[in-house]
Amino acid sequence: MKTKVIPYGRQHITEEDIEAVSKALTEDYLTQGPKIAEFEKAFAAYVGADYAIAVSNGTAALHLCALALGVQPGDKVITSPITFAASANCIRYCGGEVVFADIEPDTYLLDINSVEDLLKKAPKGTYKGIVPVDFAGRAVNMEAFRELADAHGLWIIEDSCHAPGGYFMDSKGMPQNCGNGAFADLAIFSFHPVKHIASGEGGMITTNNPELYENLMQLRTHGILKDENRYVNSIEFAGGIDKYPSWYMEMQQLGFNYRITDFQCALGLSQLKRAAQGLEKRKDIAKKYFTAFEGLPFIKGQSGVVDGHAYHLYVIEVHDRLGLYEYLREQGVFAQIHYIPCHLMPYYRAFGWKEGDLPYSENYYRHCISLPMYPTLSDEDQEYVIGKILKHAKGTDN
């Protein structure tokens, strides 16, 4: 009998998605066309931000944010080690120095007290910014980070790749959507296939700052400007008339080709239409996991049921992580580990980071495992996953 194959994440492509992409492929534009602006407008409305800039992927979004905020060689920026490496690497792309702060052991999010300790121990101006991460879909309290950042003159990039549709409750009891620009200078999202909204590859930057928005639009396309009202140079034509022909443009700064295609945005738009339903399904799956594992001795911790959690991942912490991981794979359940702490990667070890520097992050890594979590996960398959975990814990499965 063939063993089930249940991945930790999976894209969901519908007939409507296929139709949307097929239609885009028959239009006049494959790239730099109308679907990009349409997707940007719809996504900005979804998270509640003033502006959105679609780019080629989440890493490009992070890099552009670092560029737009003026990260220079030697600038120190604080982030979490429990994240995909791109959250830190974007600072290194600009020559900045990454400083990792520890996580809260209960939420797995960047610990604001750990960040504050770093800031208090350094002369004012030592640090330039903070990159908090809405890890696994749980929203960072960006209001608290904004207050801390303002007190020290720092900017904030919110890495919301895991959390479209997520939110936290502010000090007035109001929900604040991840990436809405109310507290972070810039926020970024990813449309990788295992994310809430999939476009193959792709990313989005959101902001409420018009100056940053305009700069990002340039940086996305080689630093080139096509706006006759803002050109710096002029060209003299026959007859002594200064005029800008339709082909004229100016490269005003060193930018990149981080554009996204129209057919990717068509797919993103189609997926965005059912994002709310997908999020509700993720919450239902999380509730079932939490109920199944609540109070069991082999569970050290789990994502749990949390208001505003977007549940890109459902994480449990167990004593025998390696044993469970290998056993589940034997049973066709391809759970995953998120993440090896960035500061223990060989690249960052070369800067002096070592085991013992961030004990909560390292302890989390020793025990964490991400369970299957995607909207098309069936009740039957989730029960299969839960059953195998319980049997492994009891040592009764042969």
Residues 210 and 226 in one domain: yes
State pLDDT tens for residues 26-80: 999 998 899 999 999 999 999 999 999 999 999 999 999 999 999 999 999 999 9
Residues 259 and 306 in one domain: no
* Cβ count near 174 (within 10 Å): 11
Residue 162 domain-assigned?
Answer: yes
Residues 242 and 229 in one domain: yes
- Given a cut of 50, is residue 274 above it in pLDDT? yes
Where does a domain end: 272, 299, 329? 272
Residues 87 and 227 in one domain: yes
State pLDDT tens for residues 117-164: 999 999 999 999 999 999 999 999 999 999 999 999 999 999 999 999
Domain harbouring 282, CATH code: 3.90.1150.10
Share of the chain above pLDDT 90, in %: 90
- Given a cut of 90, is residue 200 above it in pLDDT? yes
For the chain, the domain total comes to 2
State pLDDT tens for residues 381-396: 999 999 999 999 998 5
Residues 156 and 231 in one domain: yes
Residue 385 domain-assigned?
Answer: yes
Residues 283 and 266 in one domain: no
The pair of three-digit structure tokens given for residue 79, joined into one six-digit string = 């982030």
Where does a domain end: 272, 289, 306? 272
At residue 228 the predicted structure's pLDDT band, cuts being 50, 70 and 90, is low
Residue 1 domain-assigned?
Answer: no
Alpha-carbon span 62 to 43, nearest angstrom? 17
Q: Which helix (H) or strand (E) holds 157?
A: strand 155-159
Residues 89 and 115 in one domain: yes
Q: Which domain holds residue 112?
A: 7-272
At residue 225 the predicted structure's pLDDT band, cuts being 50, 70 and 90, is confident
Q: Which pLDDT score, from 0 to 100, does residue 230 have?
A: 64
Q: pTM of this prediction?
A: 0.95
What is the torsional sign of CA 279, 206, 130, 219? positive
Which one is predicted more confidently, 360 or 232?
A: 360
- Given a cut of 90, is residue 238 above it in pLDDT? no
Residues 204 and 292 in one domain: no
Where does a domain end: 241, 272, 303? 272
Q: Which pLDDT score, from 0 to 100, does residue 398 have?
A: 43
- Given a cut of 70, is residue 241 above it in pLDDT? no
Residue 339: cis peptide before it, omega within 30 degrees of 0 = yes
Q: Which pLDDT score, from 0 to 100, does residue 102 have?
A: 98
Q: Which helix (H) or strand (E) holds 164?
A: none
